[in-house]
Structure 1
Amino acid sequence: MSHLFLIVGLCLLATARCTPYIDNQTRPQVLSYEMETANMPNSYKFHYDASDGSSRTEHGAILNPGTKDAALDVLGAVRWYDDKGHLYEMTYKAGRRGYRTIIKKLS
């Protein structure tokens, strides 16, 4: 159980640390945040929207819980706007086969 909390915490910290910040700009504010942990340690979900139009959605679950083959499987998506106003989305999956991402320009 503590491993799942650690992984979720590290994911949230990584997102916060990866957000670009320029001194003359205000930091985006979180407009909405939802986290579902009722099924912890077997699964979790979270989603947030920020004032700069960015958002993140993620859910993770333990596959084969209680066995030697237990593994965390994570799916997620992050959206953001670049400095020219173009919307991008990165979807990602992490699990037994490693970490895979797809980045698309949406507008």
Structure 2
Amino acid sequence: MLFILSLMSALLVQMLGASPAVNSQPRAQIIRYDFDTANLPNSYRYHYDADDGSSRTEHGAILNSGTKDAALDVAGAVRWYDAKGHLYQMTYKAGKRGYRTIIKKLS
């Protein structure tokens, strides 16, 4: 269980410090941010929207908590616009079956 809590802490630190900005572009500003930790250490949920139209949503939960089979299960989605104004979305899931992503061009 301590390993899972450490993993969740590392994930949250990485998530909060990550930036999709490229060196030649101005850094996007967060205009809306929700972070639900009411069920920590068993689960979390967050969402943010940025002024460049990008967004991210994620939720995670510990499955089989308190057993030797306890595992962190995470799912989420990231949206962003490319330089030509096309909207993309990447959905992801991480858990016992590994890390899986799907990227789609939405517009």
Q: Calculate the TM-score normalised by the size of structure 1.
A: 0.89
CA RMSD of aligned residues (A): 1.3
Whole-Å separation in 1 of the counterparts to 2:71 and 2:33: 26
Q: CA deviation at 1:26?
A: 2.2
Question: SS of the residue aligned with 2:21?
Answer: coil
Q: How many residues align?
A: 103
Runs in 1 of length 4+ with deviation above 6 angstroms? none
Are 1:5 and 2:6 an aligned pair? no
Q: Could you list the per-position Cα deviations for residues 39-95 of structure 1 after superposition, in whole angstroms to 9, with x for gaps in the alignment?
A: 000000000000100000000000000000000000000000000000000000000
Whole-Å separation in 2 of the counterparts to 1:32 and 1:75: 20
What fraction of aligned residue pairs are identical, expressed as a percent?
Answer: 66
Equivalent position of 2:92 in the other structure: 92
Whole-Å separation in 1 of the counterparts to 2:55 and 2:93: 17
Equivalent position of 1:39 in the other structure: 39
Q: Calculate the TM-score normalised by the size of structure 2.
A: 0.89
